[in-house]
């Protein structure tokens, strides 16, 4: 099935059913690993909101939820490599276990920036839970990346929170750009 988002055409890559199944698996792992903690799930807006909502429903341990907003794409198909902080962290994470929830990790530039920023706030631990990971695009070593939903090819994707020109986030499935 193909969909049009703004001026581009996309084809289904990952079904909602597969996303649901993998999210439940990740939730079970996080539940086991953080059952004796009060972790902070820190979402990176806007893309993480769908995944994070579904993920935290799979983790029945006491937790807190917070958000930050960073941007580096600004409507295009490639990162501008300039990171802009649009919403800063509003809670104290010192001494806390932080689970950084990302929709997608490609070059790792934004994630490396964010992990370094959070480290300065002295949390007990930082682990990254990313729905999608593009290993062929990665430019940084990020040992904090511990939980990955799906490894995908280095293709532009939309749906399930991911966008193109702020559109397509509401699609249930994940779609890749048709070339």
Give the model's pLDDT for residue 82.
76
pLDDT in tens, 53-84: 999 999 999 999 999 998 765 555 665 567 77
Structure tokens at 82: 């300039």
Q: Residue by residue, what is the 3-state secondary structure of 26-42? A: HHHHHHHHCCCCCCEEE
- This prediction has a pTM of 0.92
Sort strands 40-45 and 8-14 into parallel, antiparallel or unpaired: unpaired
Give the model's pLDDT for residue 81.
65
All structural domains of the chain, each given as residue ranges with its CATH number in brackets, are 14-72+83-157 (3.40.50.2020)
Structure tokens at 20: 């649901």
pLDDT in tens, 35-44: 999 999 999 9
**Beta-carbon contacts of residue 134 (< 8 Å; ≥ 6 apart):** 104, 105, 106, 151, 152, 153, 154
| Catalytically annotated residue among 54, 106, 163, 173 | 106
Place of tokens 């289904």: 12
pLDDT of 48 higher than 60? yes
How high does pLDDT run on average in the chain? Answer: 93
Active site residue 106: yes
């Amino acid at each position: 099935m193909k969909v049009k988002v703004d001026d581009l055409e996309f084809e289904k890559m990952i079904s909602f059913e597969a996303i649901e199944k993998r999210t439940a698996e990740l939730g079970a792992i996080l539940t086991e690993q953080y059952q004796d903690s009060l972790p902070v799930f820190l979402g990176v807006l806007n893309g993480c909101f769908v995944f994070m909502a579904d993920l935290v429903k799979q983790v029945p341990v006491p937790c807190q939820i917070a958000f930050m907003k960073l941007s580096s794409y600004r409507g295009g198909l490639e990162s501008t490599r300039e990171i802009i902080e649009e919403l800063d962290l509003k809670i104290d994470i010192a001494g806390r276990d932080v689970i950084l929830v990302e929709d997608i990790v490609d070059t790792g530039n934004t994630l490396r920036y964010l992990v370094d920023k959070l480290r300065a706030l002295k949390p007990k631990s930082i682990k990254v839970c990313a729905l999608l990971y593009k290993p062929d695009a990665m430019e940084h070593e990020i040992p904090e990346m511990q939980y990955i939903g799906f490894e995908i090819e280095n293709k532009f994707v939309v749906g399930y929170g991911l966008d193109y020109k702020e559109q397509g986030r509401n699609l249930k499935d994940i779609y890749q750009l048709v070339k």
